[in-house]
Structure 1
Amino acid sequence: MTEPVASAVAVTKRYGNTAALTDVTLAVRAGESHALVGRNGAGKSTLVSVLTGLQAPDGGEVRFGGGPAPPLGDRAAWRRLVACVYQKSTIIPTLSVAENLYLNRQTDRGLISWRRLRTDARVVLGEWGLAVDPARPAGDLNVEQRQMLEIARALSHGARFIILDEPTAQLDGAAIQRLFRRLHGLREQGVTFLYISHHLDEIYEVCQAVTVLRDGRRVVTAPVGELPRPRLVEAMTGEAQGLTGTAAGRPAVREDAPVALKLQGLRLPGTYEAVHLTVRAGEVVGLAGGGASGALEVGETIVGLRTAREGTVEVAGRSVKAGSVPEAIAAGVGFVPHDRHASGFVPTLSVAENATLSIADRLGRFGWVGPGRRRALAERYIRDLDITTDGPQQPVSGLSGGNQQKVVMARALSGEPRVLVLLNPTAGVDVRSKESLLGIVDAAAAAGAAVLVVSDELDDLRGCDRVAVMFRGRMAGEYRRGWPDHGLVAAMEGVSGEPGR
C-alpha cells in the first residue's frame, strides 16, 4: 500500500502530570475523509495541534507521505503539507477576499499589484468552486463562504491534507449538504480530509474511516461501514468510570412540587427553536448538548445574557424581562457562566469581593458596603464550600482552578436563589474539586432550589433527576434517572435511540 498522506506514530503528549495523548497512532490515506471522534477531553485538540506543528510530541513522531515532518519553526513547510479549518473562523473580516486568500503573500517583492492580486484570486477561487468577488470585504461572506475561503487558502499553499474541526457547527441543513458535495468533489481532485465532528450521523455520510479517542488513547480505527453506530458510541464512552452522582440517593421530587423555572416556546432563529422545559423546586435537571446544540445559549437566555425572539422565561410564576441580567437576578436566578476566566470572576478582587458581587447592595446602606458583613458572608462560604484560601482578602487570581470555581459558585448562591443555572460547572477542575462542586449542587437542591445543569460532561449530568437533550437547536428527548451512558451520548451526537425511562 502507498504511504499515508499524514500519520501520527505512537504520539505521546503530556502537560505536567497529565497525559493528554498516550501512544496514539493514526494514519490518513490519500483521497479519504477520515473521521476523528471522541468525547470532550479525549485528546482530539491536542492531536490536531501536533499534526499541524503547533506543538511537538513528547514521544513518537508525525510523518507526511512517509517522510518526517518539518522542523516546528518552518511554518511555510507545514502550510504546504497540512492546514486546519477551525470552528472559529480565522478570516479577517476587514480585509478583502483576495487579501485573506493571499495573506502575507500579497507580493514576492516590491509594491503590491492589487489588480494582479484580484485576478490571481479569481482564478484560485474558481478552481476550488467559490464564486465570490475577490474585492468583496470578507466580513460580508456568510459562514459557508468563509469556510470555503479558508479551504481555498490552504489549498493555494499547496496543502492537500485538510483538517476540518466541527465544519457543520454553524451551518443549516442546506449548507451542510452543499459542504458535503464540495468535500466529495475535492476528494475526487486528490484532497484528503481529517474530519472532526460531534455529529455522528455525518461520519456515516461523508467519511470512509473513523478513529476513536478516549482518555488520550486510541480505542479503535476501522472502516466506517464496519463500525455500527452502537459500537461507535460504546467505543467513545467505554465503561462508566466517572463520578457516580447523587441522584440515586436523593428522594424523587414530587410531581406536585411548585414549578420554579418554566421555559415556554423559546426561539432564537439560527440558534434554538421551540424550547419547552420545566424545573421544580428541589429538582436537578440537566440540559445536555454539544457545541452547536443550542443548550448553552438557552442557559444564557434564562439569565439574561441573550434575548429570545419568541417565548417566555418564568421564575416562580414571574415572567422575567428578556435580555436583562438584573431582572433575572431580582427574580431569584443564580448563575455560573461557562468560562470562569472570561466572565466568572474579577481576578484582582478578593475572594470576599467576588463572592458578594451580585448582592453588594444588600451589604450596606446608601451605596456603602459594610466590610464586616461582607467578610462574615465570605467566611461562611469559605467554610461551607470548603474553599482553600489564605482568607477572605486573598485575590482570587491566587487560587487554584477548582477553588476559583467554588468562589464563582459562592457568588451564584449568595442571593439564595430560587433557580440555579450552571453552565459547564466543573470545566477545567480536578476530580476532587468536581466531587465537591457537584456535592454543592446537591445541597442547593436539598435546600429547595431548582437547579439546571447545562453541560455535555457525563460527570456533571449523573447527579440529575432527569436530562433533556438538545441537538441542532431542538429538544431531542429526555432521559430519567438510571439512563445509560451510551443512550445519552447517542442522543447528544444525533444518533437515533430510545430515551431512557
Structure 2
Amino acid sequence: MSTPLVEARGIVKRYGPTVALQDGQLTVLPGESHALVGRNGAGKSTLVNVLTGLQAPDEGTIRFDGEPAPPLADRDAWRRKVACVFQTPTLVPELTVAENLFLAEIHAAKSTRRSLRSGRGSGGCPPDEHSINRQPIGRGGFISWRKLKAEAAEVLGTWDVHVDPDARTADLKVEDRQMVEIARALGFGARFIVLDEPTAQLDNREIERLFTRMRALQESGVTFLFISHHLQEVYEVCQTVTVLRDARWITTAPVADLPRAALVEAMAGEAVAEYTVNARDAAAVEAPVALEAHGLTSESYENIGLTVRHGEVVGLAGSSGSGKVELAESLAGLHTPTGGTARLDGKPLPFGDVQAALKAGVGCVPRDRHEQGLVSGMSIGDNTTMSVLNRLGRYGFIGTQRKRGFAADLIERLDIHAEGPDQSVSDLSGGNAQKVVMARALASAPRLLVLINPTAGVDVKSKESLLARMDSAREDGTAVLVVSDELDDLRRCDRVLVLYHGRIVAEYPAGWHDHELIASIEGVDHG
C-alpha cells in the first residue's frame, strides 16, 4: 500500500463549548477521488478547514506524503500542498482569468514597487522556486502583462482548461470558473484538490464534463476530495468514501463495497424510507385552478402556458439554459416578461415587484439561500418573519414577544435545530439555514408557493424534512411550483413539465421513469 497523500488522525476542533469535530479521520491515497459525506453539521467543513490550513486542530495530526503539515502561518507551503474549490467561487469576477491566476503575484509586484519607491527594499525572505516560476514581474517591480498572459495560457494549456486568459471571469460559465480555480491551485504545485459541492450549480451535461475532466486530471496524478450531498455522484466519480456523523468518523470504505442504502444509513444513523408516489384522488384533480399563465415570453423562455391547481405540485425540469429558473422567478416577482399574462385565483399576477407578488399571495424559496434567501447578520426570528411584519403589529409598531412567538412556532414546524429565535442564521448548518428560508416562504400562508432548487446543498434528513413541508403545503390546498435538478424532488410532483430551449416540450404525470425524464431534459426526440 502506497504512502497516503493526505492523512488526518484524531482531529478535534472546539469553538468555545461547542465541539465541531470530536474524532476526524481521513486517509486519501494518491490519484484517487475520495468522497467525504455526511449530514450538515457532521463536521465536514471543520475537517476541510483543518486540512487546508485555515484553522489549527485542538488535537490530532495532519500529514502530507508522510510529512507533518506546514506551520499554519506558512501560506505558500499550504498552497503547494492543498487547495479548496468552494461552492461559492473565490475568483474576483471583474478581473480577467490571467489576473485571477496570478492575483497573489500581482499584489506582490505592487508591494515590491511601493517598497522600491520608499527605498526600503523588498524585505522578507526570497521567493522560492514555485513563486519565481509564477511571478510575471519585470524590472523595478512592474508587472509584465505580456508575460502574465503568456504564463496564464501555459498554465491553462498544461491542465487542458480551454478558457481565454483575457476573458473577464464574471463572463465565464460556472464550470469554467471552477476549472480556472483548479488550474490556479495546480499552478501553485498542489496535487490535492478539495471540491466542495462542485455540481450544485451545474446541469447534467456540465456535471458530466466536470467528471470527465476530473478523471483526466486523476490520470495526471491529481487527487480529489469530493464533497457532495448527491450520493449518485459519489458512485459515479469516486473510488473511496469516508462518512462523518455527529462530528465523528463513522467509516471509510471502497465505494463499490458500500450499497446506497448502507451509505445513507451510515450518514443518518438510521435507515431512511423511500418515498412512494401516491395516486391523486378525484377531488384533488378537479380542484380549482390557482395559477394560470398564457403566452409568457422573455429572453429566457417563449410562449409559456401552464396551470397549477390548488393542492397540486407541478415540477419544472430542464437544463441550466432551459429557462425554468427564470420562469419561476418571473412568477415570484423577480423579473418582468416581455409578453404574456398570469393570474392567481383570477387576479392578475404582478411582475417585477417581489413585494407586490408577496401581497398577491406568492411565497418563494429562491435559488441561492446565501445571496437571495437570508440576511446573514440577522437572527432566525428576523429572517423568518420579515415578510409578515405587517401582521405582527399596527402602525409600524411590532410586538417583540408576538414576533418571537411567531418565529418559535415556525422553528418548531420546520424542525429547525437552533437555540431559539434570537440565534443568528450565520451560525446554522446548510440544512437548517434552508429551513429558515422555507419558513419565511410559508409564514405568509401563500396561495402559490414557488420553490427553486429547494434541497440544493442539504443533507439527506434535511432534504426529507423540506420535501415533507412541500407535501404539507399541498395537503393544505396550496398550489406549488417546484424547480429542481434533483430527480428525488421531482418525484414528489403530481406533474412535471420539461422545458427545452425556453419552451415546454413535454409533460409527465407522477410515476415517470428516470430514463424518460432525463432523455426529455437532454433534448432527445425534441428535434
TM-score strictly above 0.5: yes
| Amino acid in structure 1 at the alignment position of 2:69 | A
Taking the aligned partners of 1:410 and 1:189, their CA distance within structure 2 comes to: 47
Pick one of 227, 231, 239 that aligns with 2:270. 239
Task: Render the CA deviation track for 1:449-473: whole Å, top value 9, x for unaligned.
Answer: 66789999xxxx9xxxx67899999
Task: Map 1:139-158 to 2 at 5 A.
Answer: 139-158=170-189
8 A Cα contact 1:288 1:468, kept in partner: no
Task: Render the CA deviation track for 1:232-255: whole Å, top value 9, x for unaligned.
Answer: 33333331699xxxxxxxxx9966
TM-aligned CA deviation for residue 33 of structure 1: 1.2
TM-aligned CA deviation for residue 223 of structure 1: 1.4
Q: Which residue of 1 aligns with 2:235?
A: 204
Unaligned runs of 5+ in 1: 243-251, 389-396, 429-434, 481-490, 492-501
8 A Cα contact 1:94 1:137, kept in partner: yes
Task: Render the CA deviation track for 1:386-407: whole Å, top value 9, x for unaligned.
Answer: 589xxxxxxxx993348x9999
Pick one of 111, 114, 122 that aligns with 2:145. 114
Q: Which residue of 2 aligns with 1:333?
A: 362
Unaligned runs of 5+ in 2: 110-134, 274-281, 411-419, 426-432, 459-464, 501-505, 512-516, 518-527
8 A Cα contact 1:333 1:418, kept in partner: yes
Q: Which residue of 2 aligns with 1:130?
A: 161
8 A Cα contact 1:266 1:310, kept in partner: yes
Q: 1:95 to 1:269 in 2, by over 3 A?
A: same
SS at match of 1:105: helix
TM-aligned CA deviation for residue 29 of structure 1: 0.3
Task: Map 1:42-191 to 2 at 5 A.
Answer: 42-106=42-106, 110-191=141-222
Taking the aligned partners of 1:215 and 1:470, their CA distance within structure 2 comes to: 36
8 A Cα contact 1:37 1:198, kept in partner: yes
TM-score, normalised on structure 2? 0.64
Taking the aligned partners of 1:134 and 1:340, their CA distance within structure 2 comes to: 29
Q: 1:370 to 1:132 in 2, by over 3 A?
A: closer
Range with greater deviation from structure 2 (110-119 or 407-416)? 407-416
TM-aligned CA deviation for residue 55 of structure 1: 1.6
Task: Map 1:163-312 to 2 at 5 A.
Answer: 163-239=194-270, 258=288, 260=290, 278=308, 280=310, 302-305=331-334
8 A Cα contact 1:287 1:295, kept in partner: no
Q: Which residue of 2 aligns with 1:431?
A: none
8 A Cα contact 2:32 2:218, kept in partner: yes
SS at match of 1:104: helix
SS at match of 2:105: coil
Report whether the alignment pairs 1:370 with 2:395.
yes
Q: 1:359 to 1:28 in 2, by over 3 A?
A: closer
| Amino acid in structure 1 at the alignment position of 2:152 | A
TM-aligned CA deviation for residue 216 of structure 1: 2.6
TM-aligned CA deviation for residue 83 of structure 1: 0.6
| Amino acid in structure 2 at the alignment position of 1:181 | T
| Amino acid in structure 2 at the alignment position of 1:44 | K
SS at match of 1:72: coil
Taking the aligned partners of 2:300 and 2:328, their CA distance within structure 1 comes to: 16
Q: Which residue of 1 aligns with 2:122?
A: none
Task: Render the CA deviation track for 1:415-472: whole Å, top value 9, x for unaligned.
Answer: 66434668879x99xxxxxx9x99999999998766789999xxxx9xxxx6789999
TM-aligned CA deviation for residue 209 of structure 1: 1.3
Taking the aligned partners of 2:404 and 2:328, their CA distance within structure 1 comes to: 27
Report whether the alignment pairs 1:399 with 2:422.
yes
Identity over aligned residues, as a percent?
Answer: 50
TM-aligned CA deviation for residue 12 of structure 1: 2.3
8 A Cα contact 2:493 2:510, kept in partner: yes
Q: Report the count of equivalent residues.
A: 453
